[in-house]
Amino acid sequence: MTEAIPAGPEQVLTTRSVAALSLRNVSKVFGGTHALDRVSLEVAAGEVHGLVGENGSGKSTLIKVLSGYHVPEPGATITIAGREVAPPLSAGTLRSLGVRFVHQDLGLAPSLTVAENLFVDELGSSRWKTVSRSADHRRAREVFAPFGRVLDPAAKVGSLSPADQAHLAVVRAVSQIRQHHVEAEHQPGLLVLDEVTAFLPSEERQQLFALIREIIAQGDSVLFVSHYLDEVLEITSRVSVLRDGEVVHNAETATLDSDRLVELIIGRALRGQVGVDRAEASNDAVATVTGLRGSLVDGVDFSLRRGEVLGVTGLLGSGFEQVPSLLFGAVPASGGELRLGDAAIDLTTLTPERATQRGLALVPGDRASAGAAGSLTVAENLTLQILHRYRRANTLQRRRLQRDARALLIEYDVRPPDPAAKLSTLSGGNQQKVILAKWLTAGPSLLLLDEPTLGIDVGSREEILLRIRAVAREGVPVICATSDPDQLTELCDRVLIFGRGSIVAELWGESLNKDTITERCYSATVSSGSARQGEYQ
Ligand SMILES: Nc1ncnc2c1ncn2[C@@H]1O[C@H](COP(=O)(O)OP(=O)(O)OP(=O)(O)O)[C@@H](O)[C@H]1O
């Protein structure tokens, strides 16, 4: 049911001033799916407008209509800064109206340098006036200067950390909006941030928010898409909630709290059942890692008990983020051994193929490149690890495979639950659910998770955490690498904190809480080597 926009003082203001963006009657149909159903939405000038919704609710489709990638169904009206523009919107039109996007994939060219990415818009235009590389680099440093952190203009973007890449993409977009002010005589711009905070550590996130506050103070507007509801409540002044392609609610953020927002998004309250029964884990070590070494990890030892979910965390770059890939052979280890049951696995020669044969499963954070095959169907992706179960003589039992795949999709609430759909046509969050379902049904001997709920909506996140706990209860040891303290406290029995490649603290029981995790992550950057070792038993 669509609730009316409450009339209030801000509403009067909105209608008087020219809206930064006004969408009316925007629909988009894919096959039989109504990804967007007569969506209307208005972003006021100088406002941060939140756009939230479950996985598959239509957020990306709406942003893609706005960026000109998708053509909406006939009847849609799009007005930017008071000018009605006919879809599909071209890059030139959007640029001339001061609309800039930062998508979750950031849209950077990894083989080009920071400076080249920064000025990519000028290539081929009359503004492109390279005098020399050093002049470009100087200009790049000047662009970064007001944003707090200056990146090396000569560095190749592919070599930057995810946080630095996000910084570059946001700085580029904001500086282009500032350029627009100059060229269009102070016409305000619109910045669209589509899930950009997913890879940002909390400090960077606060820097981004400071930047957002600065640009709205200049009259620009921001459309902010995120699954992180605390961020939405913190930074937005108005929120639109999408469900099944429809705007089901639009309200001032001040009238909402997180419980209400969750209810609006998923149509029910959270069950609040995730939590660790710490009696579940036994004392027997079923997996032991010794001397693990990689480019970010400096020889660490730890073990896992049967039925235990072990969290690994730290600041980005501290090494925790490499642990799942090193244990799976996806990133070559320069040293280390994994003892799993009776087997001793040399991690320096391990490949993903051999890891899979040994029963290891890795759910990577970067699903686009490492987790799945987008060009294959959902059923093919789901059964890749268990195809042998469907072989009889020389034939594949396709009908049984499709039936089981559909049942899995329903169980994991993948929408649409269509085994024949190409994986790439599913929304990001639904793709992640397929990858999890694939590995969890394979019956792993060790489950490795790397930011397992990145891009997952609040309701599905809870379901996934419950499933991971259920796998652990069946006796499977689980390692979860994440920088999300909420996830660590909800999901894990024990947490290892990494600092500069070593384990600097181990938290469990009462010490396993959000504040201690955050504090230990930061203190890891300042404490001395011997103190760090002494703390970890
Ligand atoms: N190119 C496409 N072909 C077919 N269906 C598509 C395509 N793109 C999106 N859809 C469908 O449209 C619906 C909305 O997807 P969309 O990606 O907009 O969701 P979303 O809200 O961004 O989800 P998420 O939070 O998971 O990223 C989904 O059912 C999705 O499967």
Question: Would you tell me how many other CB atoms lie within 10 Å of the CB of residue 56?
Answer: 26
Mean pLDDT of 460-487: 90
Q: Could you count the other beta carbons within 10 Å of the beta carbon of residue 464?
A: 25
Domain 270-359+445-537, what fold? Rossmann fold (3.40.50)
- The reply to whether ligand 1 has any atom less than 6 angstroms from the CB of 426 is yes
**Number of Cβ within a 10 Å radius of residue 398:** 10
Q: Verify whether ligand 1 is closer than 6 Å to residue 57 (CB atom).
A: yes
Buried b (16+ CB within 10 A) or exposed e, 64-89: bbbbbebebbeebebbbbeeebebeb
Residue 383 pLDDT more than 70?
yes
Any ligand 1 atom below 6 A from CB of 460: no
ipTM for the whole complex:
0.98
If pLDDT is split at 50, 70 and 90, which confidence band does 368 have? low
Total Cβ atoms within 10 A of residue 380 = 18
Residue with CA nearest ligand 1 atom 20: 56
427 CB within 6 A, ligand 1: yes
**pLDDT at site 58:** 93
Convert 176-226 into a string of H (helix), E (strand) and C (coil): HHHHHHHHCCCCCCEEEEECHHHHCCHHHHHHHHHHHHHHHHCCCEEEEEC
Annotated domain spans of the chain: 9-103+174-266, 270-359+445-537, 373-442
Q: pLDDT tens digits for 202-244?
A: 677 888 898 899 889 989 999 999 888 888 999 999 999 999 9
For position 456, what pLDDT does the model report? 83
Cβ of 72 closer than 6 Å to ligand 1, yes or no, is no
How much distance in Å is there from the Cα of 5 to the middle of ligand 1? 26
Confidence band of 530 (pLDDT split at 50, 70, 90): very low
pLDDT at 309: 95
Centroid of ligand 1 to alpha carbon of 209 (angstroms): 27
DSSP code string of 436-488:
HHHHHHT--SEEEEESTTTT--HHHHHHHHHHHHHHHHTT--EEEE-S-HHHH
Fold of 9-103+174-266: Rossmann fold (3.40.50)
Give the span between the Cα atoms of 168 and 30, in whole angstroms: 34
27, 28, 30: residue to mutate for ligand 1 pocket, most atoms within 8 A of CB = 30
Tell me, yes or no, if the two domains 9-103+174-266 and 270-359+445-537 fold the same way.
yes
Output the six-digit token pair for 89. 């919107």
Would you say the CB of residue 55 lies under 6 angstroms from ligand 1?
yes
145-165: pLDDT as tens digits: 887 788 999 999 988 877 788
Is the beta carbon of 425 within 6 A of some atom in ligand 1? yes
Q: Which element (helix H / strand E) includes 382?
A: helix 378-383
Write down the pLDDT at residue 181: 79
Confidence at residue 11, expressed as pLDDT on a 0 to 100 scale: 35
Q: Ligand 1: distance of its center to the CA of 414 in Å?
A: 11
